[in-house]
Amino acid sequence: MELIIFIGLQASGKSTFFRQHFAETHLLVSKDLMRNNKNPSRRQAQLIKEALRAGRSVVVDNTNPKVEDRAALIQWGQVYDVQIIGYYFKSQVECCLERNQQRLGKARVPDVAIYATIKKLTPPSYTEGFHQLFYVQIVAEFRFKVSSFLN
Ligand SMILES: Nc1ncnc2c1ncn2[C@@H]1O[C@H](COP(=O)(O)OP(=O)(O)OP(=O)(O)O)[C@@H](O)[C@H]1O
Ligand SMILES: [Mg+2]
Is the distance from the beta carbon of residue 138 to the nearest atom of ligand 1 less than 6 Å? yes
Each of the 151 residues of the chain gets a pLDDT tens digit; together they read 999 999 999 999 999 999 999 999 999 999 989 989 999 999 999 999 999 999 999 999 999 999 999 999 999 999 999 999 999 999 899 999 999 999 999 889 999 999 999 999 999 999 999 999 999 999 999 999 999 988 6
Report the atom number in ligand 1 closest to the C-alpha of 16: 18
Q: Ligand 1 pocket check: which of 59, 99, 144, 146 to mutate, most ligand atoms within 8 Å of Cβ?
A: 99
Dist. CA 64 → ligand 2 center (Å): 11
Dist. CA 16 → ligand 2 center (Å): 7
Domain that holds residue 122: 2-148
Dist. CA 15 → ligand 1 center (Å): 6
Is the distance from the beta carbon of residue 16 to the nearest atom of ligand 1 less than 6 Å? yes
Tell me, what CATH number does 31's domain have?
3.40.50.300
**How far apart (Å, rounded) are the C-alpha atoms in residues 12 and 136?**
9
Domain count, the chain: 1
* pLDDT tens-place string over residues 82-101: 999 999 999 899 999 999 99
Is the distance from the beta carbon of residue 145 to the nearest atom of ligand 1 less than 6 Å? no
Q: Ligand 1 pocket check: which of 15, 34, 135 to mutate, most ligand atoms within 8 Å of Cβ?
A: 15
Q: Yes or no: say if 11 and 115 are a contact pair by the CB < 8 Å rule.
A: no
pLDDT at residue 148, as a whole number: 93
Q: Yes or no: say if 77 and 29 are a contact pair by the CB < 8 Å rule.
A: no
Run of H or E including 49: helix 40-53
Considering just the CA atoms, what is the radius of gyration of the chain in Å?
15
Query: Which of 8, 9, 6, 7 minimizes the C-alpha distance to 18?
Result: 6
Is the distance from the beta carbon of residue 102 to the nearest atom of ligand 1 less than 6 Å? yes
